[in-house]
Chain A
Amino acid sequence: MLRRDVAIVGVGMTRFGELWERSFDDLFVEAGLEALEDAGMGGDEIEAMYVGNMSAGRFIDQEHVASLIADRSGLTPIPCTRVEAACASGGLAVRQAILAVASGMYDIVLAGGVEKMTDVTTEEATATLATASDQEWEAFHGITFPSLYAMIARRHMYEYGTTREHLALPPVKNHRNATKNPKAQFQFEITVEQVIESPLVADPLRLLDCSPVSDGAAAVIVCPLEMAKEFTDTPIVVRATAQASDSIALHDRDDITTLKATVEAAKTAYKQAGVEPEDVDVAEVHDCFSIAELVAVEDLGFVEKGEAGEAYHDGMFEIDSDYVAVNPSGGLKAKGHPVGASGVAQVVEIVEQLRGEAGKRQVDGAEIGLTHNVGGSGGTVVVHIFERAD
């Protein structure tokens, strides 16, 4: 349990997309400044920073990025720490900031995430993303990241009768939601037919089942709940922070149709928060591939195992659903997936939703929100639950 309650008092993010004109450091600074402005801070208040980043070493040939970021932000000499868990790096950075404040070590901490993926070729980006899998026993055999999720999809179809059309439904919903998000990479709709007819990447997954390569950054500012009103009228309280690990390779799991780390992290998070899955009004879940969102809503307990496809068919996860809205931001698929930033951007979206500031994509009366951030094919999962504090 947290030793003291923690709230989020400021959020910021860049637009996501192919941002050729922006550098790695530019992106982080822009998101950080927006979060400071949102919290009414100048910058002197920040006592420490955590930065989620998967692979600056391979994407921009730069390691030691934590100090780089403190430097470019004008925040030296405060401690700045990089955390890495592949695509869950951002969620993990938020969690580290929460723990640092909850422990009493610091009062005001900034958690950010950043990735600059488009300075390299698509082949290099693909190879870099594959380092999140088991290099010696998966990637060695020609495995790519899409093919790992494709094998999850194939087995899910075999065991539960999930269809090719079911797979297309999360991307279609997420593109529709992204048309209402001015910061999303793809602000246009797609149809089920377009998904099913898009080029094969790794059977049965096609191009429009896959999240894109993106640039972007996001940042949040956390502080003790008792201080939160100094910075905002609508503090968002952290009700749960949970993290779980699992085997890095699919072949070391008993059941590859479920991400056990999601199940474990969610169980811990629901218990910490004292809520049930049906209490969640809005969720940002990790939809790096279409099948990932279907598996996520099952593993988070929103539907029974194997029933996600039909639930999507019934529109259970739309913004105007009276059940739970899933990925109102457009998700990784349509908002974009700068891997180190994605987990932080999920928190930004949930904070805006719970404040009632999500504009055209606002989920009516949202009070409890959840974020779900996955590293690799499920080797790391971070789940957070948030609630309005006022």
Chain B
Amino acid sequence: MGGVPRFWRSIDNRYRLIGTRCKNCGEVFFPPRVVCPNCRSDGEMEEVQLSGRGEVYTYSVVRVPPEGFEDKAPYVVAVVKLEEGPLVTAMIVDCEPGEIDVGTPVEAVFRRISEDGEDGVIYYSLEFRPVREG
């Protein structure tokens, strides 16, 4: 995934689910953006903490994994709609593929997501898991 600096730059966002909000139009973005795509030079971004709660907007089950994910397959990937508005791509963990559907409530959870590759980095990130009753 491009090595240590590339991962390190976005650790706050990945580990703590920090997004950005445009002070001009109020829209919240995750992944974070430097420029608001609605307001461009009229906008101004500030950091915003996201709750990590949302629901599955769409999903798939990866059966043919890329390098680094071999021991996880089959695994569920999804676009999750966060309660603050943005859609975010993530893995859905702690579940069987059959448990997930469009609309399933999910919450963010910290996970090791792929093995150390050639550059020695072990990648961690916030992923999502189904919200369990009780």
Contacts and interface: CB of A to CB of B under 8 A. Distances in A.
Chain B interface category by residue count: 35 or more
B102 A154 contact: yes
A140 to B, nearest CB: 6
Contacts of A142: 62, 65-66, 69, 72, 75, 77, 91, 113-114
A152 B72 CA distance: 23
Contacts of B87: 250-253
A136 B10 contact: yes
B67 A127 contact: yes
Given A138-B89, A142-B77, A256-B58, A199 B123 contact: no
A233 interface: no
B60 A203 contact: yes
Interface string B58-102: 111111111101001001011100000011111100000100001
Contact of A203 (B61, B79, B86, B113): B61
B58 A154 contact: yes
Of B58, B62, B75, B86, which is in contact with the most chain A CB atoms at under 10 Å from its CB? Answer: B58
B10 A147 contact: no
A141 B127 contact: yes
B103 to A, nearest CB: 9
A126 B63 contact: no
A26 to B, nearest CB: 29
Contacts of B20: none
Given A151-B60, A151-B79, A141 B86 contact: no
Interface residues of A, number: 36
B77 A151 contact: yes
Majority-rule SS of B interface residues: strand
A140 B121 CA distance: 13
A139 interface: yes
A201 B63 contact: yes
A200 B61 contact: yes
B6 A136 contact: yes
Contacts of A285: none
B64 A201 contact: yes
A139 B68 CA distance: 11
B2 interface: yes
B31 interface: yes
A150 interface: yes
A58 interface: no
Contact of A136 (B31, B57, B67, B88): B31
Interface in A124-141: 126-127, 130, 134-141
A141 to B, nearest CB: 5
A202 B62 contact: yes
Contact of B65 (A136, A138, A144, A151): A144
Contacts of B86: 251
A143 B61 contact: no
B102 A155 contact: yes
A126 B61 contact: no
B125 A130 contact: no
A141 B77 contact: yes
Q: Of A130, A142, A151, A203, which is in contact with the most chain B CB atoms at under 10 Å from its CB?
A: A142
B89 A144 contact: no
Interchain residue pairs A-B with the least CB separation, the first 3: A150-B60, A155-B58, A251-B87
Given A123-B66, A139-B1, 19 more contacts: A130-B66, A134-B89, A136-B10, A136-B31, A138-B89, A142-B65, A142-B66, A142-B75, A143-B62, A144-B65, A147-B60, A147-B77, A150-B60, A151-B60, A200-B61, A200-B63, A201-B63, A202-B64, A256-B58
